[in-house]
Amino acid sequence: MKSKLFTASLLASALFAGMGAAPAMAQGSNTPRIDQAQQAISVRIQQGMASGHITPSEAQVLLRRERDIQMRENQFKSNGNANPQERQQLRADLNALNADVERMMANRDVVAPRGAGPQTPGLDNREVQISQRIDEGVRSGRITEREARRLHSREREIARHETYYKSDGVVTQQERRQLRNELGALRDEVERMMRNDRRNRG
């Protein structure tokens, strides 16, 4: 078990590095509580990956949101101070991110951490690409938050199938084909939403 957690911890560290480091915090930060909250969320995401409650693709989305908040904070601090309104916005953004992390941690459906069982890098890369595309759709307004939750839920279901297939130590060609088909159908639905301009929807 320790080796699995260690592997997951290494993976989380690599994932954090792969996301690109956010600009360094301004010296003499005047937002210590906000900085502590960011650190706590980062640790919680790593714990979620280690326990299997948060998939690597979900972690990428969460870490990207966290990085965006850090960049906003640095922008607010660029004149040497973050005003009360800016601090309130940062706290609201962090509270929303923390709520999403805790919602995932409370999910009883657990997937195996990457590195456990047979490796399926091609499928894993597709999962990450689909998650990134969903995130892009939300940012552009073509995919609503509600639709994104449903799409991510389907992605988790596929990840659970993958975990099940890996549980006997072998992922057969038929099982890989099934996973590819499920990911293909999910990708097609995401792309269909991206082609339809939903930005005028209420």
33 Cβ contact partners less than 8 Å away, ≥ 6 residues apart: none
Question: Minimal CA–CA distance to 68: which of 38, 43, 46?
Answer: 38
pLDDT of the residue at 191: 94
Per-residue pLDDT band for 14 (boundaries 50, 70, 90) equals very low
Domain boundaries along the sequence of the chain? 31-110, 112-202
Question: Minimal CA–CA distance to 31: which of 58, 70, 62, 3?
Answer: 70
Question: Minimal CA–CA distance to 104: which of 52, 146, 69, 139?
Answer: 52
On the question of pLDDT at 189 being above 90, the answer is: yes
Per-residue pLDDT band for 131 (boundaries 50, 70, 90) equals confident
Q: Alpha-carbon distance 155 to 182, whole Å?
A: 9
On the question of pLDDT at 17 being above 80, the answer is: no
| pLDDT tens string 106-119 | 876 666 555 555 67
Q: Alpha-carbon distance 183 to 108, whole Å?
A: 22
Q: What residue type is assigned to position 49 of the chain?
A: M
Find tokens 């293909």 and name the residue: 184
pLDDT of the residue at 193: 92
DSSP string over 42-64: HHHHHHHHHHTSS-HHHHHHHHH
| pLDDT tens string 19-49 | 444 444 444 456 788 888 888 998 888 888 7
pLDDT of the residue at 117: 58
| pLDDT tens string 35-93 | 888 889 988 888 887 777 787 777 878 888 888 888 888 888 887 777 888 888 898 99
Residue-averaged pLDDT of the chain? 77
Residue 201 is classified by DSSP as -
DSSP string over 75-134: HHGGGS---HHHHHHHHHHHHHHHHHHHHHHT-S---PPTTSSS--HHHHHHHHHHHHHH
- Global pTM value: 0.52
Q: What residue type is assigned to position 12 of the chain?
A: A
Question: Minimal CA–CA distance to 111: which of 99, 124, 102, 100?
Answer: 124
| pLDDT tens string 133-160 | 888 888 888 998 889 888 988 888 888 8
pLDDT of the residue at 6: 43
